[in-house]
Structure 1
């Protein structure tokens, strides 16, 4: 299924994580949301995000290898809504610059959800 999704993760303690070409990034503890899209098989994409894959391809692979998966939701929409969902997440989160957004004009697709 083609879809746009948001995947939620918990980082139990602050950590520095090597994120591929982005290098080392300091992540404060907290709840994070990652916004993504899948041109087919969103189920397999989320399964990958929620497992500890050895073959790291995307930025989220590095983060999800350390963070605990919590939950996700799927919107069966085309990928053009990925950036709209990312902009919405920006309203409630602190952006992790350049994370997962190399194929669009968004600043990021990963946000630490602010405490409320």
Structure 2
């Protein structure tokens, strides 16, 4: 299955993290949403890869998110089946209500960010945003224990 997704994560303490060549950032305690596209041949298997990086089972650092995942608790992935490339539009919607981390996850597009911060739980808001954007119900995938 293909579509777009939002990884929902929680950081329990303020933490300084180096994100590859992007640089070093202070990430505040709170909730984070990372938008991604799963339109390639692997589809939503990309979400499983993110879960594996977070657990330390995959140590390859290919994308900005790979440098961040093992510092955070991954809550879930909100996945939305679609054949349309809506990753940037979804990022724009989230940027209207959350603070973006400049340059994160968007080196292949002109978006200011694909990672967003909130100090409150954002699960319901993200799920509603995805449904409003695509018209499709979200499928919530939790990381394996």
Q: What TM-score comes out, normalization by structure 1 length?
A: 0.91
Question: Structure 1: where are the runs of 5+ without partners?
Answer: none
Q: SS state of the match for residue 4, structure 1? A: strand
More helix by share: 2
Count of aligned positions: 116
**Distance across 2 between alignment mates of 1:35 and 1:110:** 7
Q: CA RMSD in A?
A: 1.5
Deviations 1:15-72 (A, max 9, x none): 0111011121110010000000022323321112122331111000111111110011
Q: What TM-score comes out, normalization by structure 2 length?
A: 0.74
Does residue 40 of structure 1 match 2:45?
no
Question: Structure 2: where are the runs of 5+ without partners?
Answer: 122-145
Contact 2:6 2:77 in 1 (8 A): yes
Please tell me whether Structure 1 or Structure 2 has the larger radius of gyration of its CA atoms. Answer: 2
**Distance across 2 between alignment mates of 1:64 and 1:44:** 16
Q: Structure 1 stretches (4+) deviating beyond 6 angstroms?
A: none
1:77-116 alignment, distance < 5 Å: 77-78=82-83, 80-115=85-120
